[in-house]
Amino acid sequence: MKTIVMQNPLKEKYDHDDIAVAIGFFDGIHLGHQQVIHKMIDIAEEKQLKKAVMTFDPHPSVVLNHEMKRTTYVTPIEEKKEIFACMGIDYLFIIPFTSSFANMSEQNFIRDYFTLNHVKHVIAGFDFTYGKYGKGNMLKLEDDKDGFEVTMVQKEMIDDDKISTTNILKALKSGETKRANAMLGRPYSIKGFVVQGEKRGRTIGFRTANVMPKEDYVIPKVGVHAVRFKLLSQNKTYNGVCNVGYKPTFNDPSVNQLTIEVNIFEFDESIYGESVEVEWYEFIRDEKKFDGIDALIEQIQQDVIQSKQILSNV
């Protein structure tokens, strides 16, 4: 897959074959996004066009909505690249979402990013908008198209609710991990590195791997989760229980440092610096402060049992 960042002068970016392009922000690449991309692939193969995806970075809210800007992602840009490459995409176009881009007219957007860019077919979801103030929509794109065809993909539903990144974010933050995973079509995951922690876990019989995300991922709800832990260098996967939080039993309440710590079952290796992936399956309980170490140990033992039960059904 060739990645093309659409920075000026744009005419230097047009040196590629004719394409069918799926366009959207695609955070999560959830089941709804996948429908758009699979539709693009079908059209590209039918028309003998190259398969392309066009997305934006950063999230438009960074420019358009300072009070509600979003700087964490279900699939940060590097993860998007990996997923698109695995889907067999030929070209990935990344449009830097800047103030000047946000002010671009609908006509100029169509001309610069579609017509001149060898686009022969545009595929997008029903709610895709473009141009200044987002005034352009899929119906208008059909009317204003110039040298290309347009296909609109309808929304995907689950349990009478729209599959959307917004709903996935709500589910992850409220502990409804199974619901988020159902909308994603796969377990939510975070890639990162194992870093040095305070090493308190080993003193109470529960060694943990302290995971630092390598990108700006959305972190699931604070508390205890059933997870699977992938050691990427060895291509091995282990079951585990993960605490996301601030370790109130040990830490001063004024210390506000979020950690992701995984107790890996049946595992006793030193893996500092290793690249890993944490897959999230089910929220178990909220984080709480215990009166003493014995009460904490007893609760962790229960968490381990519950996590093993959950993951035995995966």
CATH superfamily for 188-312 is Riboflavin kinase-like (2.40.30.30)
CATH T-level fold of 2-155: Rossmann fold (3.40.50)
Q: Residue 255, class by beta-carbon neighbours within 10 Å (0-12 exposed, 13-18 middle, 19+ buried)?
A: exposed
What pLDDT does residue 247 have?
A: 66
8 Å CB contact between 276 and 237: no
Is pTM, for the whole model, over 0.85? yes
CA distances from 70 to 169, 243, 251 (A): 11, 24, 29
Tokens of 223: 């508390």
- Local confidence pLDDT in tens for the 314 residues of the chain: 999 999 989 999 999 999 999 999 999 999 999 999 999 999 999 999 999 999 999 999 999 987 788 999 999 999 999 999 999 999 999 999 999 999 999 999 999 999 999 999 999 999 999 999 999 999 999 999 999 999 999 999 998 889 999 999 999 999 999 999 999 999 999 999 999 876 665 555 678 999 999 999 999 999 999 999 999 999 999 999 999 998 655 555 555 688 999 999 999 899 999 999 999 999 999 998 877 788 888 999 999 999 999 999 88
Q: What are the extents of the domains in the chain?
A: 2-155, 188-312
Q: What distance in Å separates the CA atoms of residue 304 and residue 289, rounded to the nearest whole number?
A: 18
Q: Residue 261, class by beta-carbon neighbours within 10 Å (0-12 exposed, 13-18 middle, 19+ buried)?
A: buried
